[in-house]
Amino acid sequence: MAHGFDDYRVFLSAPGDLDPDRAAVHDILARVNEAVAMPANILLVTVGLRENGQIDGNRAIVSDNVRWSSYFIQLFQDDWGPRDLFRKLFLLALECRDNPEMPMRDVVVCVKNAPHESNPEILAFRKELLEMQGVRAFAYDTVEELRAHLERVSTEWAQSLIAASAGAGAAS
Protein backbone atom coordinates (compact mmCIF):
# COMPACT_ATOMS: atom_id res chain seq x y z
CA MET A 1 0.00 0.00 0.00
CA ALA A 2 1.53 3.30 -1.05
CA HIS A 3 1.68 5.81 1.78
CA GLY A 4 3.19 8.81 -0.01
CA PHE A 5 6.26 9.08 2.23
CA ASP A 6 9.90 8.67 1.33
CA ASP A 7 11.16 6.41 4.09
CA TYR A 8 14.71 6.19 5.41
CA ARG A 9 15.76 3.36 7.70
CA VAL A 10 17.53 4.08 10.97
CA PHE A 11 19.19 0.93 12.31
CA LEU A 12 19.35 0.99 16.10
CA SER A 13 22.00 -1.24 17.64
CA ALA A 14 21.67 -1.45 21.41
CA PRO A 15 23.23 -4.57 22.93
CA GLY A 16 23.21 -5.17 26.64
CA ASP A 17 20.89 -3.78 29.25
CA LEU A 18 19.91 -0.54 27.52
CA ASP A 19 16.16 -1.00 27.11
CA PRO A 20 15.23 2.46 28.49
CA ASP A 21 17.80 4.05 26.17
CA ARG A 22 16.49 2.08 23.19
CA ALA A 23 12.93 3.16 24.00
CA ALA A 24 14.09 6.79 24.22
CA VAL A 25 15.54 6.58 20.70
CA HIS A 26 12.22 5.28 19.36
CA ASP A 27 10.40 8.15 21.11
CA ILE A 28 12.84 10.72 19.74
CA LEU A 29 12.49 9.50 16.17
CA ALA A 30 8.70 9.49 16.49
CA ARG A 31 8.78 13.09 17.74
CA VAL A 32 11.11 14.22 14.92
CA ASN A 33 8.95 12.41 12.38
CA GLU A 34 5.83 14.15 13.64
CA ALA A 35 7.32 17.63 13.98
CA VAL A 36 9.82 17.81 11.12
CA ALA A 37 9.89 14.89 8.68
CA MET A 38 6.27 13.89 8.09
CA PRO A 39 5.04 17.36 7.05
CA ALA A 40 7.58 17.04 4.20
CA ASN A 41 6.45 13.47 3.37
CA ILE A 42 9.59 11.96 4.84
CA LEU A 43 9.66 9.19 7.42
CA LEU A 44 12.55 7.95 9.57
CA VAL A 45 11.82 4.26 10.18
CA THR A 46 13.57 2.49 13.04
CA VAL A 47 14.81 -1.05 12.46
CA GLY A 48 16.84 -3.29 14.73
CA LEU A 49 16.52 -6.16 17.17
CA ARG A 50 14.38 -6.28 20.27
CA GLU A 51 16.40 -9.09 21.88
CA ASN A 52 20.16 -9.60 21.70
CA GLY A 53 19.78 -13.32 21.11
CA GLN A 54 17.93 -12.74 17.84
CA ILE A 55 21.20 -11.79 16.17
CA ASP A 56 22.50 -15.38 16.34
CA GLY A 57 19.70 -16.97 14.35
CA ASN A 58 19.03 -14.07 11.98
CA ARG A 59 22.50 -12.73 11.23
CA ALA A 60 22.14 -12.53 7.44
CA ILE A 61 18.86 -10.59 7.48
CA VAL A 62 20.12 -8.34 10.28
CA SER A 63 23.21 -7.53 8.19
CA ASP A 64 20.97 -6.85 5.19
CA ASN A 65 18.91 -4.45 7.29
CA VAL A 66 22.11 -2.55 8.11
CA ARG A 67 23.01 -2.48 4.41
CA TRP A 68 19.56 -1.13 3.52
CA SER A 69 19.65 1.58 6.21
CA SER A 70 20.40 5.25 5.72
CA TYR A 71 21.46 5.89 9.31
CA PHE A 72 22.97 3.81 12.11
CA ILE A 73 22.80 4.54 15.83
CA GLN A 74 25.04 2.48 18.11
CA LEU A 75 24.22 2.57 21.82
CA PHE A 76 26.90 1.05 23.99
CA GLN A 77 27.75 0.67 27.63
CA ASP A 78 29.71 -2.48 28.31
CA ASP A 79 28.61 -5.30 26.05
CA TRP A 80 28.69 -6.11 22.34
CA GLY A 81 26.08 -8.81 22.74
CA PRO A 82 26.47 -12.49 21.85
CA ARG A 83 29.87 -13.32 20.32
CA ASP A 84 30.53 -9.61 19.66
CA LEU A 85 28.09 -9.75 16.73
CA PHE A 86 26.86 -6.20 17.36
CA ARG A 87 30.45 -5.01 16.88
CA LYS A 88 30.43 -6.69 13.48
CA LEU A 89 27.21 -4.84 12.63
CA PHE A 90 28.81 -1.57 13.68
CA LEU A 91 31.83 -2.23 11.46
CA LEU A 92 29.48 -3.16 8.61
CA ALA A 93 27.67 0.17 9.09
CA LEU A 94 30.98 2.01 8.78
CA GLU A 95 31.78 0.10 5.57
CA CYS A 96 28.36 0.94 4.17
CA ARG A 97 28.70 4.62 5.08
CA ASP A 98 32.06 4.77 3.31
CA ASN A 99 30.67 3.13 0.15
CA PRO A 100 28.92 5.74 -2.02
CA GLU A 101 26.83 3.00 -3.66
CA MET A 102 25.15 2.18 -0.33
CA PRO A 103 22.34 4.26 1.22
CA MET A 104 24.15 4.72 4.60
CA ARG A 105 24.64 8.43 5.28
CA ASP A 106 25.70 8.66 8.92
CA VAL A 107 26.84 6.54 11.86
CA VAL A 108 26.39 7.83 15.40
CA VAL A 109 27.81 6.24 18.55
CA CYS A 110 26.34 6.99 21.97
CA VAL A 111 28.35 5.59 24.87
CA LYS A 112 26.60 5.48 28.22
CA ASN A 113 28.98 6.43 31.00
CA ALA A 114 29.82 3.64 33.41
CA PRO A 115 31.72 5.30 36.26
CA HIS A 116 32.17 2.03 38.17
CA GLU A 117 33.47 -0.01 35.22
CA SER A 118 36.89 -1.53 35.90
CA ASN A 119 37.29 -4.19 33.21
CA PRO A 120 40.35 -3.03 31.21
CA GLU A 121 39.03 -4.48 27.92
CA ILE A 122 35.73 -2.64 28.24
CA LEU A 123 37.46 0.58 29.28
CA ALA A 124 39.83 0.35 26.32
CA PHE A 125 37.01 -0.25 23.88
CA ARG A 126 34.93 2.61 25.32
CA LYS A 127 37.94 4.89 24.80
CA GLU A 128 38.43 3.58 21.25
CA LEU A 129 34.79 4.29 20.37
CA LEU A 130 34.83 7.81 21.76
CA GLU A 131 38.09 8.67 19.96
CA MET A 132 37.27 6.96 16.64
CA GLN A 133 37.89 9.20 13.65
CA GLY A 134 35.04 9.83 11.24
CA VAL A 135 32.31 8.77 13.67
CA ARG A 136 30.05 11.05 15.65
CA ALA A 137 30.62 9.83 19.19
CA PHE A 138 28.82 11.10 22.26
CA ALA A 139 29.14 10.10 25.92
CA TYR A 140 26.08 10.49 28.12
CA ASP A 141 24.99 9.88 31.70
CA THR A 142 21.21 9.99 31.53
CA VAL A 143 18.47 9.05 29.10
CA GLU A 144 17.53 12.75 29.02
CA GLU A 145 21.03 13.64 27.75
CA LEU A 146 20.71 10.92 25.11
CA ARG A 147 17.31 12.28 24.09
CA ALA A 148 18.61 15.84 23.69
CA HIS A 149 21.63 14.75 21.66
CA LEU A 150 19.77 12.39 19.33
CA GLU A 151 16.92 14.83 18.87
CA ARG A 152 19.45 17.34 17.48
CA VAL A 153 21.06 14.66 15.28
CA SER A 154 17.82 13.20 13.91
CA THR A 155 16.36 16.67 13.32
CA GLU A 156 19.50 17.46 11.32
CA TRP A 157 18.97 14.25 9.32
CA ALA A 158 15.35 15.14 8.59
CA GLN A 159 16.23 18.70 7.58
CA SER A 160 18.98 17.41 5.30
CA LEU A 161 16.56 15.00 3.64
CA ILE A 162 13.98 17.78 3.22
CA ALA A 163 16.60 20.03 1.62
CA ALA A 164 17.74 17.25 -0.70
CA SER A 165 14.14 16.53 -1.67
CA ALA A 166 13.47 20.19 -2.37
CA GLY A 167 16.65 20.37 -4.45
CA ALA A 168 15.67 17.28 -6.43
CA GLY A 169 12.20 18.70 -7.02
CA ALA A 170 13.61 22.00 -8.28
CA ALA A 171 15.98 20.15 -10.63
CA SER A 172 13.19 18.20 -12.31
Question: What does the pLDDT look like over 28-54, one tens digit per residue?
Answer: 999 999 999 999 999 999 998 776 666
Per mean pLDDT, which of 65-69, 78-82, 119-123 is the most reliable? 65-69
Relative to beta strand 6-13, strand 42-48 is parallel
Question: What does the pLDDT look like over 71-112, one tens digit per residue?
Answer: 999 998 876 766 777 788 899 999 999 999 999 999 999 999
What is the DSSP annotation of 95-115?
HHHT-TTS---EEEEEEE--T
Q: For the chain, which domains are there?
A: 6-164 (3.40.50.300)
Taking residue 94's Cβ as centre, other Cβ atoms within 10 Å add up to: 17
pTM, whole model, 2 decimals?
0.90
DSSP H or E segment with residue 71 = strand 71-76
